[in-house]
Structure 1
Amino acid sequence: MSNPEPGERPGGAGGGALNWPLFALTAGFIAAFCGLAVFSAGTLNQLVDASFAWSARFFGLYWQLLLLATFFVGLLIALLPGGRSVLGGLAVPEFNLFQWGSMIMCTLLAGGGVFWAAGEPLAHFVEVPPAFPGVEATTREAVPYALAQSFLHWGFLAWAILGSLTAVMLMHYHYDEGLPLAPRTLLYPVFGRHAIDGPIGDLADAVCIIAVVAGTVGPIGFLGLQVSYGLEALFGIPDRFLTQALVIGALMVVYLASAISGIGRGIQFLSRVNMVLGGLLLVFILVAGPSRFIFSSFFSGLGTHLTNFFDLALYRGDAEVFGPAGWLGWWTVFFWGWFIGYGPLMAIFIARISRGRSIRAIVIMLSLAAPLITMGWFTILGGAGLGLELADPGVISGPMAGLNLPAALLAVTQAMPLGFIVSLLFLLLTTIFVATTGDSMTYSLAVSLSPGGHPSTAMRVFWGAAMGAMALVLVSLGTGGIGKLQSFIVVTAVPVSLVLLPSLWDAVRITLARSPAR
């Protein structure tokens, strides 16, 4: 069991103060969004659609450059002599390598990896991304290109923005200089104490909190749709709002209990269970599925991804066809907006669980190890689907028509030996995965609103319940409600991406300052 931070009570029931103005601003905005969704969905649609188009058009290229720069600056600081410096004020890490890696892996994968792992490679297989003109869809030739595009969206760049630089900054400023473990601290290099004590800090915290709530509510809502669809397919239980609401309610109870118990107990336990169960299921699919095809697809997909890395990362397309309302906006720009929105709060969580780790270890885990594991995950789930589709056209793409992601996952699992049991276990895995996102983000949200960095149980319960309630509201509106949330996620990433900007140079400064004296 880990040692709590000073002032944190056993079980995670910290008793810190609350930033009431920030709480009123963020909770009020989220309540207004939900109210508008219920009472004037048409107005909400118009506002979100217009904001989404503007955000994608004017910030899409900036986000592409920001993610590229974050990844390569991270590699730079890992190579500097100061990269060996240990952060967090502990000589020995709080968590062993498996515990630490499990909690990190469950962040991005839980945020959507289960939903997209089976479906996205097949989507790019059926309709080859425009970055690869001339490649014929639904052929063996299209396989590495479909995986390469998926690797871009869930690989090196996506993971780097979640905390390779920002976690280093937060750990330095919080544990060494006593500044808050909050998004506002990321602006300290630019605004100094004005970022910590003034309205600039409140605004920075507010936009980051709203962005991560939107980003977390999406997976919670998708889980309701996924499990409800699976229960009907496996047991004949009607796929309707009541079923979806019960699933979301049960999930909320699980991640609230985990968040309340603290990082050293519930969050760590769920992450560990997740990794073990996920590993066993992937090994089963690897053995029972098209093993040779999956292995060869991983290496060919990775090779294609690396060969076309900059072309994929900087792809802009035809502005009239693949602009903000087209392919680029609904794929790469959406994912970049989602992960940017997660960035500051995810960095808080990573900073909290990485005490006693070196700068180099943090960067290697986030920017190299976690992406490669994620690519393997996508290749086993998605590659199995591609192999099945090549052997029997329509077996996966048929149920998935219209980008029906829940159907894609179940189509793959039900095609396996012991398909019923495997499908049931994947539904359980998906639920635990999303619970790990819910508990870690509930914890991080509560920390951001607690000036002392030790959130109360009541604050954890509020944010966990608020995200569950928001998911219920949006699911009740049908798939259109979740769709608008996806667009809203991109909009919230605009101010958050500006909060992340100082990390590009300040993480380098911090690392250079920690270089051993000659």
Structure 2
Amino acid sequence: MSERHDTSTTTAASVPGRLGDPLVIGLSVGFILGFIALSLYDIDLVAEGIASGFAWTAGTLGSYFQLLLLVTFLVAIGLAFSPVAGARVGNLEAPELSTFKWLSIIMCTLLAGGGVFFAAGEPVYHFVVTPPAFDTEAGTPEAVASALAQSFMHWGFLAWAVLGSLTAVVLAHAHYVKGLPLQPRTLLTPVLGEGIMRGWFGGLVDALCVIAVVAGTVGPIGFLATQVSFGLHELFGLPEGYGTQLAILVVLGAVYVTSAMTGIHRGIQLLSRFNVFLALAIAAVIFLFGPTQFLVNAFTQGFGEYLTSFFTMATMTSQTAPDWWMQWWTVFFFAWFIGYGPLMAIFVARISRGRTIRQMILAVAVMAPIATTVWFTLLGGSGIHYQLTGAIDLTSALADFQFDVATLTVAQALPGGPLMALAILVLTTIFVATTGDSMSYAISVVGAGHDAPNALVRAFWGIAMALMAAILLYMGAGQIGALQQFIVITAIPVSLVLLPSLWTGPQAAIAMAREQGIAGTARRPSPSA
């Protein structure tokens, strides 16, 4: 095997600063302070401005976002089944993490917080309000498959693929072979060159990607506080006000900041493994003691509908669907995932050292989405069953997008009642914590440019996001919602960072295969030869 760089401990000299690029930190922190300051100055002005930008972006660029996710998935799957996908990531002959630990971190990090938050309510919503891709009568047994299929589309193959398939391949080759920094700017280096990306423009690219992730992570952190506060009020009669929400944020922040500071091999890994075991226990109880036959049939029919209607749902536009539906469902979710894309790719490339390209792509773009569909079926499918039989009625709550109410209502209807509801609240909390710790780590990696960022920097970003959530919640839950809408706007520049990976991803894979002497590729001579 040819000689390659080992950049697992990139020196500080190779990056703009020991604690981070001043431009990245300045712009990112400036965004947090600016958003809060403007909200304090005129909360309505901020909300209205973001709402206008959200509507314009969703209406004008929604189809572009959808095609980006669709083509990314198709190219990634094609690459995974090519001979070059046997190349290994990160200069290691064997995986750095065991398969279970590796998959646990993937499952608990990439779509964890959002997926758990929407798993109970979204399928029920699509059951009571038929998605535009289907013509089934809402609220009937015939509507079950289409409701689950639409949820699978939003949280399935396309969503996961954009988070860590082609982009992770590009970053893995650029960092571990060429010695380039683990930063979003590296995704554009094959197109614009190292000279441009090392300068202020590269810092701007990194900052925009960090801002997108901050917006995308603060939202779930804030929504979790409202969800757990509501749950504790319903289950134990605790007050549901800001004091309780603040206490929840303190506990949540302490958990994920500690996890981020201890790193991938300790806190992040342990938290992910615990959450996987808890999720498996909850899933087993639901499957064994819940509406088992209904869930089996619902998953079979729903997944079949997902596959047969895949391209219809993936390419649905405002020409064939109501504008409001596209904005608040497909485009919103897809833009959210795009915003996470570069930093999640950094995280995937970091934890996948020693894995083959094929393993990395299939784990992220196939196995994890299938596991997600099973989880959505267990929670959301149970909710549909109870809605269909009249045990619960979430029509009015979901009409107001009250997903915290939906989650708790479905949880209380499950076997175990209040105990199950408490377990799901704990699970949701830790899932959001795993998102918080991984993103605190990834943001710190962006600033440092290597995979061993300063622990205090990791703590700073974790605390900063918790504080931002606390301040925005104090202003009102509407500001958390406004920040969520801002995600769609940030997806514009971030999508341009992801776009080149459609061709640079395969190119990087081919280069890695050649360097490693994979059969079917012409091996280039070693630089030391």
Range class of TM-score, shorter chain = over 0.9
- Cα offset for 1:71? 0.2
**CA 1:508–1:397 in structure 2 vs 1: closer, same or farther (change >3 Å)?**
same
- Cα offset for 1:19? 1.1
- Cα offset for 1:199? 2.0
> What TM-score comes out, normalization by structure 2 length?
0.93
C-alpha distance in 1, partners of 2:184/2:265? Answer: 23
Does the residue aligned with 2:448 lie in a helix, a strand or coil?
coil
Residue 159 of structure 2 is matched in structure 1 by: 158
Task: Give deviations 1:10-44, integer Å, cap 9, x for gaps.
Answer: xxxxx934211221111112210111122211110
| Residues 1:119 and 2:117 are matched in the alignment | no
| Residues 1:268 and 2:266 are matched in the alignment | no
State the 4+ residue runs in structure 1 displaced beyond 6 angstroms.
none
- Cα offset for 1:200? 1.9
Q: Do 1:184 and 1:195's aligned partners in 2 also have CA atoms closer than 8 Å? A: no
C-alpha distance in 1, partners of 2:92/2:158? Answer: 29
Q: Do 1:227 and 1:427's aligned partners in 2 also have CA atoms closer than 8 Å? A: yes
The structure 2 residue matched to 1:388, chosen from 386, 389, 408, is 386
C-alpha distance in 1, partners of 2:42/2:93? Answer: 55
Does the residue aligned with 2:296 lie in a helix, a strand or coil?
helix
Residue 60 of structure 2 is matched in structure 1 by: 58
| Residues 1:484 and 2:485 are matched in the alignment | no
Which letter maps to 2:22? W
- Cα offset for 1:45? 1.4
Q: Do 2:208 and 2:490's aligned partners in 1 also have CA atoms closer than 8 Å? A: yes
C-alpha distance in 2, partners of 1:193/1:470? Answer: 34
Does the residue aligned with 2:238 lie in a helix, a strand or coil?
coil
Task: Give deviations 1:475-510, integer Å, cap 9, x for gaps.
Answer: 122231122112101111110000001100011112
- Cα offset for 1:452? 4.4
| Residues 1:47 and 2:49 are matched in the alignment | yes
Which letter maps to 1:462? F
Which letter maps to 1:170? L
Which letter maps to 1:237? L
C-alpha distance in 1, partners of 2:454/2:468? Answer: 22
Residue 34 of structure 1 is matched in structure 2 by: 36
C-alpha distance in 2, partners of 1:444/1:512? Answer: 26
C-alpha distance in 2, partners of 1:451/1:46? Answer: 36
Residue 410 of structure 1 is matched in structure 2 by: 408
- Cα offset for 1:109? 3.6
Does the residue aligned with 2:142 lie in a helix, a strand or coil?
helix
Which letter maps to 1:167? A
Residue 284 of structure 2 is matched in structure 1 by: 283
- Cα offset for 1:47? 1.6
- Structural mapping, 1:453-492, within 5 Å: 453-492=451-490
C-alpha distance in 1, partners of 2:481/2:118? Answer: 15
- Structural mapping, 1:47-196, within 5 Å: 47-133=49-135, 135-196=136-197
Q: Do 2:225 and 2:248's aligned partners in 1 also have CA atoms closer than 8 Å? A: yes
- Structural mapping, 1:349-364, within 5 Å: 349-364=347-362
C-alpha distance in 2, partners of 1:329/1:248? Answer: 29
Which letter maps to 2:143? A
Which letter maps to 1:111? G
- Cα offset for 1:416? 2.4
C-alpha distance in 2, partners of 1:340/1:290? Answer: 36
- Structural mapping, 1:265-414, within 5 Å: 265-318=266-319, 322-323=322-323, 326-392=324-390, 394-397=392-395, 400=398, 402-414=400-412
Residue 239 of structure 1 is matched in structure 2 by: 240
Task: Give deviations 1:252-286, integer Å, cap 9, x for gaps.
Answer: 00000000001100000000000000110011011
Unaligned runs of 5+ in 2: 1-5, 12-16, 523-529
> What TM-score comes out, normalization by structure 1 length?
0.95
Which letter maps to 1:29? F
C-alpha distance in 2, partners of 1:283/1:195? Answer: 52
C-alpha distance in 2, partners of 1:505/1:79? Answer: 16
**CA 1:466–1:455 in structure 2 vs 1: closer, same or farther (change >3 Å)?**
same
C-alpha distance in 2, partners of 1:275/1:252? Answer: 20
- Cα offset for 1:54? 1.8
C-alpha distance in 2, partners of 1:7/1:200? Answer: 22
Q: Do 2:394 and 2:406's aligned partners in 1 also have CA atoms closer than 8 Å? A: yes
Query: How many residue pairs get matched?
Result: 507
- Cα offset for 1:400? 4.6
Unaligned runs of 5+ in 1: 9-14
Q: Do 1:80 and 1:511's aligned partners in 2 also have CA atoms closer than 8 Å? A: no
C-alpha distance in 2, partners of 1:157/1:201? Answer: 27
Residue 9 of structure 2 is matched in structure 1 by: 6
Residue 497 of structure 1 is matched in structure 2 by: 495
